[in-house]
């Protein structure tokens, strides 16, 4: 089992969540269901948390601010994908581009952050990530999605989302 996230990374994660809540519509993600009973906001926080854990445990050198922000924004599409009409019909393929457009309309993103958002669905979307941070978010997203589908929201995030 992976060890808990360091206190330094937990502080960075909490700070970035607060910053996004103030400067964007990130808080609205709590109004949409992602997997079973997990909200999109809770899923994005879980992916950011897991991304940091992966990088810490494996000793991977990353841009921590970009990793956290890109992970938090990877599913920033702001709609209920369970309704099968219009853009939601091909959600798995289309939502990375929608999330990127939403994020770019409100925030200035780095190249790494754009790559994390746009490429996190690989291999469902055919173009692979091009930086370490995006590969980590891609992996963390799959781990968190499987956990949420099987067991519901991750309890380790109580009070952080």
- Percent of the residues in the chain that have a pLDDT greater than 90, as a whole number: 73
Q: Are 106 and 24 in contact (CB under 8 A)?
A: yes
Point out which residues pair with 33 in neighbouring strands.
39
Give residue-wise pLDDT tens across range 38-76: 999 999 999 999 999 999 999 999 999 999 999 999 999
Mean pLDDT of the chain: 90
> What global pTM score does this model have?
0.91
**Structure-token pair, residue 41:** 């906001």
**Structure-token pair, residue 47:** 């992916």
CA 147 distance to own-chain centroid: 14
**Structure-token pair, residue 10:** 């937990």
**Structure-token pair, residue 75:** 């599913």
Q: Which residues of 39-78 are buried (b: 16+ CB within 10 A; e: fewer)?
A: bbbbbbbbbbbbbbbbbbeeeeebebebbbbbbbbbbbbb
């Amino acid at each position: 089992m992976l060890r808990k996230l360091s206190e330094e990374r937990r502080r960075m994660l909490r700070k970035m969540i607060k910053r996004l809540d103030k400067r964007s519509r990130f808080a609205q993600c709590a109004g949409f269901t992602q997997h079973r009973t997990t909200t999109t906001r809770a899923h994005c926080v879980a992916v950011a948390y897991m991304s940091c854990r992966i990088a810490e445990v494996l000793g991977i050198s990353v841009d921590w601010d970009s990793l956290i922000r890109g992970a938090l924004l990877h599913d920033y599409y702001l709609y209920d994908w369970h309704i099968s009409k219009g853009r939601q019909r091909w959600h798995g393929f289309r939502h990375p581009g929608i999330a990127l457009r939403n994020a770019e309309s409100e925030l200035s993103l780095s190249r790494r952050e754009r790559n994390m958002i746009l490429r996190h669905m690989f291999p469902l979307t055919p173009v692979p990530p091009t930086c370490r941070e995006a590969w980590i978010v891609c992996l963390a997203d799959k781990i968190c999605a499987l956990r949420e589908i099987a067991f519901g929201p991750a309890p380790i995030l109580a009070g952080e989302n």
